[in-house]
Homo-oligomer: A and B are copies of this chain.
Amino acid sequence: MKRSDIPYLDDLRAFETTAQCGTVRSAADELSLTHAAVSRRINRLADMVGTPLFERSGRGLRLTAAGDRLAEVCRRSFDDLSRTIVSIRESQATDTGAILLSCERSVAMRWLIPRLSEFQDTHPEIAVHLSVGGGPVDSKQNRATLALRRLDFAIVDGWSVVPLFDETIGPVMSPDMFSDFEQGDYIALGSNTRPDAWDDWLRRNPDAPRPRERRMFDHHFLMVEAASSGLGVGLVPHIVALDDINRERLTAPLGFDPDGSRYGVLHPSQVPLDENAVLLLEWLRNRSRNI
């Protein structure tokens, strides 16, 4: 993902504050600025996005649809950042001895957390701090952390990789939607995090029934939830659908095909893993053997 699309935070903050306050002038008060400064920032942001964020309504402003979406993402992101920063400020050196395990959100929710209690039962003395986040690992070297990742990026020097299993993806749906799916009477559910997933899959599976319609979600895990709730057919990794298939909340009539990528655990190769981390790593390998 290119980051060239990110404007200045100060612009975003001015915009978000204005969205909350409702008027430029009250936002300016809140930010200890003049309304002129706020106005400039908002306009520059709108230029950058390519769409007006506000439209005039009487003597005030109202958000456009695009502005509404952006405002909500801003608020969430700022909340996340703010919360993490105060949390870091407070929890100085609280994490003594804990293992930091980083993992993608969907995998954490649908695979890791449901199995983690087993590990905790056998090793109650080991504290595992779970940190959600995917994508390339952050730096050449960071803390003695394990990172469970989809290996779709270049491995940075200084990290060791323990491969776990191949990623396989396939269409999944609520069992009572199977006949609709066979007849091509289904909505394809996608996520904006992997926008080309359906196109790629349909190209590789020319005989599969074509979707009647498409529907995008902002997050992968919302899409999975929507699939198990019968809103349509989701294209998901096997690992994420596993438990719901066993519970018969989902079926995968066409099975799962490898998409080339694989999952693995990354850890810094310079610093040797401590014994707790080795235990967790071994447990991860065992648990993922039959996927």
Contacts and interface: CB of A to CB of B under 8 A. Distances in A.
Contacts of A174: 117
A245 B175 CA distance: 22
Interface string A216-227: 011101100110
A265 to B, nearest CB: 16
B3 A78 contact: yes
Nearest to A157: B22
Interface stretch (A12-20, A164-172, A256-264, A283-291): A12-20
Nearest to A217: B130
Interface residues of A, number: 94
Interface in A207-236: 217-219, 221-222, 225-226, 228-231
A8 to B, nearest CB: 6
A280 interface: no
How many identical chains are in the complex?
A: 2
Nearest to A249: B247
A114 B8 CA distance: 38
Contacts of A221: 109
A180 to B, nearest CB: 11
Interface centre among A57, A88, A218, A219 (most CB of B within 10 A): A88
A16 to B, nearest CB: 8
Contact of A81 (B18, B73, B217): B73
B108 A85 contact: no
A218 B131 contact: yes
A206 interface: no
A269 interface: no
A3 B158 CA distance: 37
Contacts of A108: 222, 225
Contacts of A113: 222, 225-226, 229, 231
A33 interface: no
A185 B110 CA distance: 26
17 contacts: A5-B81, A8-B9, A12-B81, A22-B158, A50-B89, A68-B131, A69-B88, A70-B88, A71-B139, A71-B142, A72-B131, A72-B138, A73-B133, A83-B193, A114-B228, A115-B229, A130-B222
Closest 9 CB pairs of A and B: A9-B9, A22-B140, A77-B77, A72-B133, A63-B142, A117-B230, A62-B141, A114-B229, A73-B84
